[in-house]
Amino acid sequence: MFILSGCYNNSHIRTLKVLEEGELVVSFNSSINFASEENLRDVDGEVRGQGGNVPIGLTGLRSEFSLLKGYKNSEAGFYGGYGFSDWGSGWHLGLEHKKYIKLKNLRRVKAGINIELTEMKPFGKIIHSIQSIKTTTSKENPFYGGFHSIYTYGSRGGHVTWYNSFKNIYYKFLIKGVGITLGREIFFNLFGMNTSTILQVDASVLSQEFLNINGGSIKAGDEYDRLGTISASLGFNFFNTRLKKKNQLTPLPKPRKDPVLKFDPETGIPIKKTSSGLEFDPETGEPVFDKGRNKNRR
């Protein structure tokens, strides 16, 4: 059974368009996480007695702003945002980098990493990273897919007063996982600007481990059953390149040169020339030959 949890994040949504060198894209994204109700529950001790999830302080319902710049065969940028979970709200800031890889007879893929620092009071700071490889998109190929891995490391160093079980418990945790990504990017014209909308779904399998427990009955190093989580994301991208007009790169036709006119030396009237190369006298309509050459023959 899946419920709206909002206590984890397994999605990273960005444009899958290959950016030109120097091209910028501004993105606004939102994601919501659906996690198993067994997520991070202690299997032994007073935390289980309360029937609650072990809090990690990572927002699952979040909104982000990001800025990416295209480089030669790669892209890089930064992002930041604010989000909410079952335990409160918090901010996050991160960096990202992706490489464009060309596969034989296939679409290029984007392979890279994003890493962020997030904080939610009364929890400590958390390092959260997603590594991914996804196919690129275009107007002709709007659908994409790929794989991702996840790494999250953090600690809980404050008091959660509304849950007595967590008052005197301090712990560190490590979460790792793998998953798949499916999505669609739709390109359109907005006030003459290149724009796109993305819909994305991520599904992941996670494993968690408690590393250092101070107080309570959770054992450090305990590893718990693997958990499933699904997220849905929506993104809007605004590129700084204008849409190219149709046939903009088609070369212009070669300008026509004025034909070299020849004149009848006796009358001064232009001599008409046909496509066959014959010249005719405009008055008599008879073919005109090189008179100088004819005179020499005589």
Top-confidence residue, 261 or 164: 261
DSSP state of 298: -
Which phi and psi (to 5°) does residue 165 adopt?
-65, -25
Q: Specify whether 104 is located in the same domain as 174.
A: yes
Stretch 80-92: mean pLDDT, rounded?
84
Most confidently modeled range among 53-62, 87-96, 243-252, 258-267 = 87-96
Phi, psi of 284, rounded to the nearest 5 degrees: -95, -25
Residue 85 sits in the same domain as residue 232: yes
8 Å CB contact between 90 and 124:
no
Domain that holds residue 173: 2-242
Mean of the per-residue pLDDT values of the chain = 77
Dist CA 7 CA 87 (whole Å) = 8
- Split at pLDDT 50, 70, 90, the class of 296 is very low
Query: Are 245 and 41 within 8 A, CB to CB?
Result: no
Measured CA to CA in angstroms, residue 144 lies from 24, 139, 181, 182, 274 at distances of 21, 12, 8, 6, 60
178 and 269 inside one domain = no
User: Residue 179: its pLDDT value, please?
Assistant: 95
**Residue 120 belongs to some domain of the structure:** yes
Whether residues 145 and 281 share a domain: the answer is: no
**Per the domain annotation, does 247 fall within a domain?**
no
* Residue 254 within a domain: no
Q: How far is CA 286 from CA 19, 277, 292, in A?
A: 66, 14, 17
Please state which of the ranges 2-16, 51-65, 162-176, 195-209 shows the lowest mean pLDDT. Answer: 162-176
Residue carrying the six token digits 């020499």: 296
Mean pLDDT, to the nearest integer, of 233-243? 85
What is the tally of structural domains in the chain?
2
The verdict on 43 and 96 lying in the same domain is: yes
249: in domain: no
More confident residue, 41 or 175: 175
Does the pTM exceed 0.85? no
Strand, coil or helix: what is 159?
coil
- Same domain? For 274 and 149 the reply is no
Check the CA dihedral 137-142-144-150 and report its sign. positive
CA distance 268 to 261: 11
